[in-house]
């Protein structure tokens, strides 16, 4: 009896090497009317060898209530999940009862082999009979015409992985219009199988391939499933746990997902994990598309060291950049807020040399990114402007206007393109709404652009179009439009009368950007008093005082004037009426041949005095890459002339480069009349 018991226990110990002790193993069928899950294609010969060799290193994975065995040698490994009746553990490991009829009460190895083969053949037949055909997301998206069709197929015979259904639905949704997409999404949420599909995806998240997990999360986010749902948050947590499984393709998909999601705790944690992963694997990235996707997703607040690593990687791969890669590089660098001059310069060259055929949307994105990065490239801007001017007839005027607004942000004045736009807008004013009209006026007044004899006609068309929308225009838009007209020395009576209504003024002084409104109202009032306005010359508009202007000292110019004119012959930082300020004032005779000391001015009658205003002008006061003054400087010069000044513009950056001797000669030619200088040169030559 003791021998029989010992033999029985010995056999039982051999079986225990395959089933871990200490925890009861139970197989639960999945809910929601889906078939039980079993793992097919087990190699039972290897399982028997494992049993015979007493390999105790089996590792158990218990995911989604299904049991998987995996040995260290991968002798017993699942190749996929098929739907079949799940055999109980005791039947699987002990296909028939142990025999005690033998003299030594031992189970023959040959009998175990036969029984295992018999059970394997029985299970394969049953599996083939009940296993549904696997279907890919591509096939699903081709066979189905709506999101509900995909859910109907799922409800009839679910297959693993469930991520295919979400991927197929997103592929189908991309083919739909916005209205149809909105309607189909509502049907999807109300479909009875939708909740079951969500349950399947959550349960399979641990065992599906990591790529399938990411594609399902991407599709779920794109389909508009709320981010705060249990489904999305569960998948985010699972991606966090399995992020080390990322290869290059998964890295690209994960970066795309993070770009589309709103910040939350799980997204922030995942972003931090992505940054650490990219920091380790940046050298292993082989494809430019993946590199740019990762750069776009790491965020503006990423460590500067990581940004520089990615920049160096991009520079190494520069020879592999296609034209499209160069076009997208601007937006990529703007997304990570990294101003890499070398990368931007190289990509600008490629974009400019391949500008023809470039989509308008990409041109807009390039200029927006340059604005965000504060990057200025004259050749790039000229190339874009010339290309749009050459192909002007194929673009809608609203698109060209958007381009001009971006150019105005840089202070860039594309003369040819702006001339074409004036002619087209004057011929076809019907396309313009109030917002477009205000934008056009702001661009042309800011850049101080006039087009020969058509400027007056253009301004009349703009004023007429705005007058027709007078009762629909907001107070702020009305002020902006009138201020732009005043900068260009044009005064539409109907618009000005509407602006000066008490309720409009009160609204501007109490709402919106009050400080900006006050400044613009002062500009309008000044223009009405000084320019040739047909009305409101005696306007007494009570406005709040503007904040005091900050005076910028000009020590180099002051030293040059002292050397040229002597002390007491000029005045610094002069405040004038109408809130104007000039850097230096010089008083000369009417011919500008002699400088008058300020102490002798009272002796001379005012008709014999020529007041000279010296304005020290920075580069920002001119249009980009030119000496064409912008709108405010042009208006100030016009008003100073009306006030009796002769205006001299001194470019700060030019004077700073000159030696004192050269600077004196330069200012002398600016201050004195050319006739006086030419006669002085003749006299000097005659004396020599």
pLDDT, tens digit, 9 for 90 and up, residues 105-160: 334 445 544 554 555 455 454 444 444 556 777 888 888 888 999 999 898 878 88
Domain contains 189: no
In angstroms, rounded to a whole number, what is the distance separating the alpha carbons of residues 127 and 68?
A: 17
Q: 385 and 441 in one domain?
A: no
Q: 667 and 615 in one domain?
A: yes
Count of domains for the chain: 3
Using one digit for the tens of pLDDT, what is the confidence trace for 206-218? 998 999 999 999 9
Helix (H) or strand (E) holding 646: strand 645-651
Q: 563 and 512 in one domain?
A: no
Q: 515 and 401 in one domain?
A: no
Domain boundary among 393, 419, 445: 419
- pLDDT for residue 16 is more than 80: no
Using one digit for the tens of pLDDT, what is the confidence trace for 530-543? 887 777 666 777 78
Average pLDDT over residues 564-575: 87
Domain contains 290: no
N-term to C-term CA, the chain:
143
* Side-chain half-sphere CA neighbours of 662 within 13 A: 6
- pLDDT for residue 358 is more than 80: yes
Q: 673 and 559 in one domain?
A: yes
Query: pLDDT class for 457, splitting at 50, 70, 90?
Result: confident
Q: 585 and 533 in one domain?
A: no
Domain boundary among 547, 582, 614: 547
Q: What is the pLDDT of residue 566?
A: 85
Domain contains 635: yes
In angstroms, rounded to a whole number, what is the distance separating the alpha carbons of residues 313 and 336?
A: 15
- pLDDT for residue 35 is more than 80: no
Domain contains 99: no
Lowest mean pLDDT among 131-145, 359-373, 473-487, 663-677: 131-145
β-bridge partners, 622: 629
Domain boundary among 368, 392, 419: 419
Query: pLDDT class for 364, splitting at 50, 70, 90?
Result: very high
User: Cβ(204)–Cβ(169) under 8 Å?
Assistant: no
Residue carrying structure tokens 């609204």: 507
Q: What is the pLDDT of residue 642?
A: 92
Q: 582 and 540 in one domain?
A: no
Query: pLDDT class for 477, splitting at 50, 70, 90?
Result: very high
Average pLDDT over residues 578-588: 91
Q: What is the pLDDT of residue 138?
A: 83
Domain range for 395 is 321-419
Tokens of 344: 């931007």
Q: 654 and 565 in one domain?
A: yes
Residue carrying structure tokens 């909105």: 182
- pLDDT for residue 41 is more than 60: no
Among the listed residues 117, 123, 175, the one whose alpha carbon sits nearest the alpha carbon of residue 146? 175
How are the residues of the chain apportioned to helix, strand and coil, as percentages rounded to the nearest 5? 60, 10, 30
CB atoms within 10 A of CB 561: 24
Q: 566 and 532 in one domain?
A: no
Q: 438 and 415 in one domain?
A: no
Q: What is the pLDDT of residue 142?
A: 85
pLDDT averaged over every residue in the chain: 79
- pLDDT for residue 167 is more than 50: yes
Distance of CA 637 to the CA centre of its chain: 40
Among the listed residues 206, 204, 130, 129, the one whose alpha carbon sits nearest the alpha carbon of residue 165? 204
Average pLDDT over residues 178-191: 91
Among the listed residues 273, 294, 272, the one whose alpha carbon sits nearest the alpha carbon of residue 283? 294
User: Cβ(180)–Cβ(202) under 8 Å?
Assistant: no
β-bridge partners, 63: 66
In angstroms, rounded to a whole number, what is the distance separating the alpha carbons of residues 165 and 196?
A: 12
User: Cβ(640)–Cβ(582) under 8 Å?
Assistant: yes
β-bridge partners, 609: 589
Domain contains 130: no
Among the listed residues 15, 77, 79, the one whose alpha carbon sits nearest the alpha carbon of residue 48? 15
Q: 471 and 402 in one domain?
A: no
- pLDDT for residue 187 is more than 70: yes
Query: pLDDT class for 677, splitting at 50, 70, 90?
Result: low
Q: What is the pLDDT of residue 607?
A: 64
Average pLDDT over residues 316-344: 94
Query: pLDDT class for 567, splitting at 50, 70, 90?
Result: confident
Domain contains 580: yes
Q: 457 and 566 in one domain?
A: no
In angstroms, rounded to a whole number, what is the distance separating the alpha carbons of residues 646 and 588?
A: 10
């Amino acid at each position: 009896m003791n021998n029989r018991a010992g033999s029985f226990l010995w056999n039982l110990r051999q079986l225990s090497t395959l089933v871990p002790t200490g925890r009861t193993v139970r197989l639960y069928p999945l809910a929601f009317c889906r078939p039980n899950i079993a793992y097919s294609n087990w190699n039972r010969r290897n399982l028997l060898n494992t049993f015979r060799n007493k390999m105790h290193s089996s590792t158990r994975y218990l995911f989604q209530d299904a049991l998987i065995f995996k040995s260290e040698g991968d002798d017993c490994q699942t190749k996929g999940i098929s739907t079949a009746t799940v055999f109980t553990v005791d039947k699987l490991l002990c296909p028939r009862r142990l025999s005690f009829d033998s003299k030594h009460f031992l189970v023959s190895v040959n009998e175990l082999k036969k029984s295992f083969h018999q059970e394997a053949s029985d299970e394969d037949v049953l599996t083939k009979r009940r296993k549904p055909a696997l279907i890919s997301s591509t096939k699903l998206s081709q066979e189905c015409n709506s999101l509900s069709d995909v859910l109907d197929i799922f409800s009839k015979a679910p297959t693993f992985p469930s991520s295919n259904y979400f991927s197929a639905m997103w592929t189908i949704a991309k083919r739909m219009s916005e209205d149809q997409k909105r309607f189909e999404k509502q049907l999807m949420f109300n479909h009875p199988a939708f909740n079951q599909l969500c349950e399947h995806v959550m349960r399979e998240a641990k065992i599906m391939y990591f790529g399938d997990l990411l594609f399902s999360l991407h599709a779920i986010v794109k389909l508009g499933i709320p981010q705060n749902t249990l489904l999305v948050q569960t998948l985010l947590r699972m991606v966090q746990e399995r992020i080390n499984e990322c290869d290059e393709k998964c890295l690209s998909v994960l970066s795309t997902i993070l770009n589309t999601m709103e910040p939350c705790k799980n997204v922030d944690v995942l972003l931090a994990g992505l940054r650490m992963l990219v920091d380790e694997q940046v050298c292993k990235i082989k494809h430019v598309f993946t590199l740019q996707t990762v750069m776009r997703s790491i965020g503006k607040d990423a460590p500067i060291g990581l940004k520089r690593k990615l920049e160096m990687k991009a520079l190494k791969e520069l020879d592999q950049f296609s034209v499209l890669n160069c076009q997208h590089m601007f937006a990529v660098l703007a997304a990570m807020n990294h101003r890499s001059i070398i990368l931007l310069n190289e990509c600008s060259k490629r974009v400019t040399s391949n500008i023809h055929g470039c989509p308008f949307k990409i041109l807009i994105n390039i200029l927006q990114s340059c604005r965000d990065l504060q990057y200025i490239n004259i050749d790039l801007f000229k190339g874009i402007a010339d290309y749009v001017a050459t192909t002007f007839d194929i673009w809608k005027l609203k698109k060209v206007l958007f381009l001009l607004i971006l150019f105005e942000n840089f202070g860039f004045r594309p003369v040819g393109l702006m001339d074409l736009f004036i002619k087209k807008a004057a011929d076809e004013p019907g396309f313009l709404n109030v917002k477009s009209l205000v934008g056009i006026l702001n661009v042309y007044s800011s850049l101080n652009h006039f087009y020969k004899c058509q400027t007056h006609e253009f301004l009349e068309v703009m004023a007429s179009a705005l007058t027709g929308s007078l009762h629909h225009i907001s107070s702020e838009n009305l002020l902006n439009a009138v201020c732009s007209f005043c900068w260009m020395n044009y005064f539409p009576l109907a618009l000005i009368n509407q602006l000066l209504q008490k309720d409009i003024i009160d609204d501007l002084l109490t709402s919106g950007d009050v400080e900006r409104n006050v400044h613009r109202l002062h500009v309008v009032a000044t223009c009405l008093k000084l320019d040739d306005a047909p009305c409101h010359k005696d306007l007494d508009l009570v406005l709040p005082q503007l904040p005091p202007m900050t005076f910028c000292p000009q020590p180099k110019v002051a030293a040059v004037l002292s050397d040229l004119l002597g002390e007491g012959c000029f005045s610094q930082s002069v405040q004038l009426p109408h809130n104007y300020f000039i850097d230096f004032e010089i008083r000369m005779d009417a011919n500008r041949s002699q400088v008058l000391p300020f102490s002798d001015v009272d002796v001379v009658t005012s008709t014999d005095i020529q007041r000279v205003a010296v304005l020290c002008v920075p580069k920002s006061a001119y249009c980009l890459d030119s000496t064409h003054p912008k709108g405010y400087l042009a208006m100030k010069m016009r008003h100073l002339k009306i006030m009796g000044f002769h205006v001299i513009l001194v470019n700060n950056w030019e004077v700073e480069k000159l030696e004192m001797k050269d600077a004196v000669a330069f200012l002398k030619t600016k201050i004195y009349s050319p006739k006086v200088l030419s006669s002085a040169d003749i006299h000097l030559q005659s004396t020599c």
